[in-house]
Amino acid sequence: MSNKISVITVVYNDVGHIRETMESFFSQTWEDKEYIVIDGGSTDGTADIIREYAGRVAYWCSEPDGGIYEAMNKGIAHATGDWINILNSGDMYCSDKSLEDVMKAVAGTEADVIYGNSVEVHPRFKYNRFADGDVSRLDYTPTFRHGSSLIKASVHKRYLYDVSKKKALGYALDWEMLHRLYKDGFVFRKTDVFIEEYLLEGVSNRPYMNLWYNYKITSGSRFDAKRLLFMLVQMLNVLKANSRLTEFIYSFILEYVINGICPHIPFWTLRRPLLRLGKMRIGKGSFIMRKCYFMNANLLTIGEYSHINRGCLIDARGRITIGDNVSISHNVNVVTGSHDAQSHDFMGIFKPIIIKDYAWLGVGCTVLQGVTIGRGAVIAAGAVVTKDVGDYEIVGGIPARKIGTRNPNLDYHCHGWLWFT
């Protein structure tokens, strides 16, 4: 596959965000890229900021248009890359390596649409939104954020946003286009990369209207009993999620049951179903000792024959995935949550942690957000891990650095079960 990426930003009167969005593009380490900016004739100074970057932009214009999707189509017409990504004003890439990580993740594979995870920016915190790897679910609902996808340019130029349906589908024409690609048999490929972060206050933050548009798109605007039922169930879920009763039950299970009751139950066979009641995914043969503290146990996945010892803090607010045969020693901290120290309002930030098969985390070590611990890696006692650890690496110190290499010929299960533990 060729890998030149055309990034398109559409904007209208957004002087407060356009600069940071443009800087997010220019900070990308992926070099084979071009930038296209379509401004709808802004009068608030937005065009003046774009003009400052004119020498670094492949194409830009500032003129009235028929709205966001007409502007996107205009940008697609000027794209010369092999892939097209939409970076709306106010949105940013999750890291300077987002585009590079995407292209490396799909290297050597065939795809027409590449998609990944997103970060939802709330007024006081950021929340990870994970894309669904089950492509068949696109027959019923969007499974990823439009901005966190790259579409092959040769395909996108044939499948534009259908502005003739703007009156019927409003702000959902991006999903309508993606659904057409799915129904016509194009190849969608998921990557675990976090691509874009977006502001929650966007035009599409209307859950009930989103579900109505989704029904019209997936049903072809015809009566469809299965999709109608799907819409009604999803509306009920939204209603429940926003109720005080649901909030109370959610807190009761995830906090009081898991962290108040479970630590005092002496038998694993009784604790395990309660942890699973909180949606914790626990594989065959895995074991968790008493007196551990879990934050958002519903976002914790543990593979088979893994062992978590006493006194551990497992903060899964940003999602934690633990593989098979992983040993986590006493008093280990695995922390996905943090704050932006430079933020005036102390914004919360949550990033996932992945701990791969056969990893061993020593007594009292700390693994911080956004880190991947490689297969068979060893974290020495008391170490503080701030960066990814490679397969079979042994690291120690504060911050942790490589101090050795482990034997890669590993073949064992972790057995930590004892009565009353």
Per-residue confidence (pLDDT) for residue 204, from 0 to 100: 53
Angle at 122 between CA 372 and CA 12, to 5 degrees: 110
- Euclidean distance between CA atoms 114 and 131, whole angstroms: 11
* pLDDT tens sequence for the chain (421 residues): 568 999 999 999 999 999 999 999 999 999 999 999 999 999 999 999 999 999 999 999 999 998 999 999 999 999 999 999 999 999 999 999 999 999 998 888 899 999 999 988 887 778 888 899 899 999 999 999 999 999 999 999 999 999 999 999 999 999 999 999 999 999 999 998 999 999 876 555 688 888 899 999 999 888 989 989 988 988 888 887 777 777 788 788 888 899 999 989 999 989 999 999 889 999 999 999 999 999 999 999 999 999 999 999 999 998 999 999 999 999 999 999 998 888 777 878 888 999 999 999 999 999 999 999 999 999 999 999 999 999 999 999 999 999 999 999 999 998 767 777 7
In the chain the domains, ranked by start, together with CATH numbers, are 5-202 (3.90.550.10), 264-405 (2.160.10.10)
Per-residue confidence (pLDDT) for residue 202, from 0 to 100: 54
For residue 226, give the DSSP letter: H
Catalytic residues: 339
For 254, phi and psi rounded to 5 degrees?
A: -75, -25
Helices (H), 113-170: 153-156, 166-169
> Given CA atoms 207, 209, 215, 216 in this order, what sign does their dihedral have?
negative
- Euclidean distance between CA atoms 368 and 370, whole angstroms: 7
Orientation of helix 68-78 relative to helix 173-183, angle to 10°: 50
CB-CB contact of 86 with 71 (8 Å) = no
Per-residue confidence (pLDDT) for residue 203, from 0 to 100: 53
Note if the pTM is more than 0.85. no
Give the H/E segment covering residue 227. helix 225-241
Give the H/E segment covering residue 218. helix 207-218
DSSP assignments along 121-169, one per residue: E-SSBEEEEPPPS-GGGGGTS--S-GGGEEEEHHHHTTS---GGGHHHH
Measured between its terminal Cα atoms, the distance across the chain in Å is: 53
Nearest Cα residue to 126 out of 277, 402, 345: 345
188-199 vs 92-93, strand pairing mode: antiparallel
Orientation of helix 207-218 relative to helix 173-183, angle to 10°: 30
| Residue 9 structure tokens | 């930003």
CB atoms within 10 A of CB 413: 12
